[in-house]
Amino acid sequence: MRSELYIDGRWVSPIKGGTFDVINPATEDVIHKLPAATAEDVDAAVAAARRAFDKDGWPKLSGAQRATYLRAIAGGIRARQQEIARLEVIDNGKPLPEAEWDIADAAGCFDYYAGLADQRDNDPGEAIELSDARFTSRAVKEPIGVAGAIIPWNYPLLMAAWKVAPALAAGCTVVLKPAELTSLTALELAAIADGAKLPPGVLNVVTGSGSVAGQAIVDHKGVAKLAFTGSGPVGSKIMAAAARDIKRVSLELGGKSPFVVFDDADIDEAVEWIMFGIFWNQGQVCSATSRVLVQDGIYGELLRRVVEETQKITIGNGVEDGILLGPLVSKRQYEQVLGAIEAARSAGATVACGGRRPDGFERGYFLEPTVLTDVPLDSDAWREEIFGPVLCIRPFSDENEAIELANESRFGLAAAVMSKDDVRAERVAVAFRAGIVWINCSQPTFTEAPWGGYKESGIGRELGYWGLENYLETKQITKFVSEEPWGWYLKPSEAAQ
């Protein structure tokens, strides 16, 4: 495990020498110490990124040349997939099969953006039809500059890939700050980039707290673009701080996503997707479909089946075989989720199952998967993101009521609908006020498709070509092509000559 910052192609100790503990959430043991970067370290990282962008020529490389580095990074990730997945488990807590899936997706993300980098070599820009034939004009895309990327703890390496890969493909340089709780694999990404001979300064990784290292990135005048994934309150502060320098910002924030199940749905399939939508990654997923709305005709039976299957979920240390639910990421997160369950109970909700530490687990941040019923519509449990394995479920009578309840939220990240009536499913999908909509499923995510939300769930889109656009500026280039002089300053007699 790495123990230094990665700045300007070198492993360096923080200027002020501080460290912080890495805690395994399954055992509560301190397993490592990592460097705590300060504003001075961030300044060095930004200076390196600026030099790589302004002087060393990273944005001037062809897309094919940048793609070569991206593919080498993808190959480096795949070569170490098992090792990195295990690091993810002891750092984050998720079950090993989930971590393996994440690491494979991260490698795929670098490959995908390598392909888009290749395509940029054949893009002359968009020709613009003008009203004056004496001019031609085109719009071209150019890299923004230094990108400051601040990522969350729920998908550590994958969230790094979602930002680093498109930024590098676009020709930007990057200062990456992983979450303090889960920084191990971001440093391994730096090691893989180093092994791929990525030029110094193109990718810099600084570990430390959000309030110190993260804030230094946000405030740094050398950073042209901020890309953040995390909570709404932090995203709001970042947006306000970025406004001082008119920095470009993309924000992928929280959600309280609905899942509408109509009474013609197959109950077995519905149960499978409902559970995947809330219990994958311990429910620590921004798009988790944590509000389930079930039509009256099947509500009782579906609820019975959800509770029955939820109680079968195997809980334990993610490195063990057969585990489907690991610990929450930290003591603080564990206490917050427990507090949210107790608050829901106090507000009138019924705990149909779960809601407590499982028997036999004296250490680790383990929590039984929880199903809440009778949740008041005005309660925090129904309206606010819990970010844990907690499902709220209630009945509805007709389509209009379902849509109204689904959209009654300050969030708009994702939504799902399940029905055998394709026309109705499509109609409801269009009616959802959300940036990501699933029909007859929940949570499938593809690098090729845009990811982001409406309302307080964020600004901008990641993934697909939209993710590349986050790191590009649009430039207009207009040329005077007439053989006749323009004639604004010249005297009429001179213009005629």
For the chain, the straight-line distance linking the first and the last C-alpha, in angstroms and rounded, comes to 75
Give pairs for 436-445: CB < 8 Å, separation 24+. 436/287, 438/414, 440/265, 440/269, 440/273, 441/273, 441/416, 442/259, 442/273, 442/274, 442/276, 442/277, 442/289, 442/416, 443/276, 443/277, 443/280, 443/285, 443/287, 443/288, 443/289, 445/105
Task: Answer whether 253's CB lies under 8 Å from 235's CB.
Answer: yes
Kindly report the number of other CB atoms within 10 A of residue 58's CB atom.
Answer: 23
Question: What would the two tokens of residue 45 be?
Answer: 């990282």
Distance of CA 215 to the CA centre of its chain: 19
395: phi then psi, degrees, rounded to nearest 5: -85, 160
Question: What would the two tokens of residue 344 be?
Answer: 């829901």
Strand 5-7 with 135-143, pairing? unpaired
The neighbouring-strand residues paired with 396 are 295
CA dist 310 to 151, 278, 285, 296, 299, Å? 30, 11, 18, 21, 16
* Catalytic-labelled residue, pool 88, 98, 252, 399: 252
Of the candidates 146, 144, 150, the residue with the CA atom closest to the CA atom of residue 253: 150
Ramachandran region, residue 374 (left: φ > 0; alpha: ψ -120 to 50; beta: rest): left
Of the candidates 342, 358, 393, 387, the residue with the CA atom closest to the CA atom of residue 372: 393
Active site residue 252: yes
**What does the CA dihedral 278, 362, 209, 189 come to, rounded to 10 degrees?**
-70
Task: Answer whether 386's CB lies under 8 Å from 337's CB.
Answer: yes
The neighbouring-strand residues paired with 260 are 293, 417
Report, as residue numbers or ranges, the catalytic residues: 252
